[in-house]
């Protein structure tokens, strides 16, 4: 059903972007944007389900990940570079309007794609990370003094990489994939990767072979590229000043696990449920389902049905 996954690289926006592509070439296109620390592979269940329903799924490895280019310069990882890669990819394929699914940091990318190029997005389904309007302070100002917070530990060049290097790559990934705590912060003087625990038993939603596939790619690329996304968050805040008070006008469904770390911290749950979220994303549906952070893998069938039921509303429209 849906055919095999096709793999190819496209030279776009000054880099080579690896894309996993499944489903009929002339089907309604869906762009799938992965998060940290993931790959196109995170969408394997959604690609199969969407392709079987006639959609063409396009799941790139974002810059810095997998088989895409890994720029050395941290400044090459701003939100404008990442969204620029995706716009260039769609232009390369001659696609003027697509449906989009994002997860985690990929949801942040998807929100900004909607913000910068709403003309290219017919509808978006985002998982785990809501759209937070641009605040009065940069990230490091907002979280000053929170040294245990993973985002703050990721700021200093080399710090997280040195800590990660104490473990094999599969263990690093498993520590993040196993997260079930409400706050991704380490105690004073402790590195987040040392604080996180890797489950001794296999994760129920990822096979050892799939974990090996992830590990093989991160072994090749390292973690600096992915961590550079976080290092550019203050720069992103400064550069997105023109979008102050801008709303996401694209039709949106937001799906979150009820036990997602992100939902439980920074007042996110109140923001999502209080009406504040809908005030900045007016055309919004919210669905909270049972599960943790890596919801599209952990609760694949439920997430697939939520995506399909939403996108079915838009497939009759002309591009």
Q: Which residues are catalytic?
A: 104, 230, 293
| 112 vs 135: CA distance, rounded Å | 15
Radius of gyration of the chain (CA): 18
Q: Helices (H), strands (E): how many in the chain?
A: 16, 8
DSSP string, 12-65: ETTEEEEEEEES-TTSPEEEEE--TT--GGGGHHHHHHHHHTTPEEEEEPPTTS
Residues 6+ apart with CB under 8 A from 144: none
Q: In this structure, are strands 98-103 and 56-60 parallel, antiparallel, or unpaired?
A: unpaired
Read off the tokens for 277.
């979220």
Question: CB within 8 A of 18, min separation 6: which ones?
Answer: 7, 8, 9, 40, 60, 61, 66, 67, 68
Length of the chain: 319
Decide: residue 145, CB within 10 A, 0-12 exposed, 13-18 middle, 19+ buried. Answer: exposed
| CA separation for the pair 118, 303 (Å, rounded) | 24
Contact status, residue 38 vs residue 192, Cβ threshold 8 Å: no
Residue 17 sits at φ, ψ, to 5 deg, of: -110, 120
- 73 Cβ contact partners less than 8 Å away, ≥ 6 residues apart: none
DSSP code per residue over 252-298: EEEEEETT-HHHHSTTHHHHHHSSHHHHHSSSEEEEEES--SSHHHH
Q: How many C-beta neighbours within 10 Å does residue 83 have?
A: 22
């Amino acid at each position: 059903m849906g055919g095999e996954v096709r793999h190819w690289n496209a030279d776009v926006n000054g880099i080579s972007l690896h894309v996993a592509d499944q489903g009929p070439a002339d089907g309604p296109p869906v762009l799938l944007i992965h998060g940290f620390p993931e790959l196109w592979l995170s969408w394997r269940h959604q690609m199969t389900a969407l392709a079987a329903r006639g959609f063409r799924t396009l799941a790139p490895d974002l810059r810095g990940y997998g088989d895409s280019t890994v720029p050395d310069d941290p400044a090459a990882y701003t939100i404008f570079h990442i969204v620029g890669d995706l716009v260039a990819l769609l232009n390369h394929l001659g696609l003027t309007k697509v449906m989009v699914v994002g997860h985690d940091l990929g949801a942040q990318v998807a929100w900004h794609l909607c913000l910068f190029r709403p003309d290219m997005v017919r509808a978006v389904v985002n998982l785990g990370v809501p759209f937070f309007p641009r605040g009065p302070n940069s990230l490091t100002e907002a979280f000053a003094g929170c040294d245990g917070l993973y985002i703050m530990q990721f700021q200093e060049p080399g710090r997280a990489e040195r800590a990660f290097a104490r473990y094999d790559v599969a263990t690093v990934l498993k520590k993040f994939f196993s997260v079930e705590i409400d706050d991704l912060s380490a105690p004073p003087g402790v590195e987040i990767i040392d604080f996180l625990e890797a489950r001794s038993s296999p994760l129920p939603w990822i096979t050892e072979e799939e974990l090996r596939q992830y590990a093989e790619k991160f072994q090749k690329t390292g973690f600096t590229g992915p961590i550079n996304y976080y290092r550019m968050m203050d720069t992103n805040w400064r550069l997105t000043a023109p979008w102050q008070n801008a709303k996401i006008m694209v039709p949106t469904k937001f799906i979150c696990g009820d036990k997602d770390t992100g939902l439980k911290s920074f007042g996110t749950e109140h923001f999502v449920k209080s009406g504040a979220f809908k005030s900045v994303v007016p055309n919004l549906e919210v669905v909270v389902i049972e599960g943790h952070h890596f919801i599209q893998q952990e609760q694949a069938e439920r997430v697939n049905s939520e995506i399909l039921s939403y996108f079915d509303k838009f497939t009759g429209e002309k591009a």
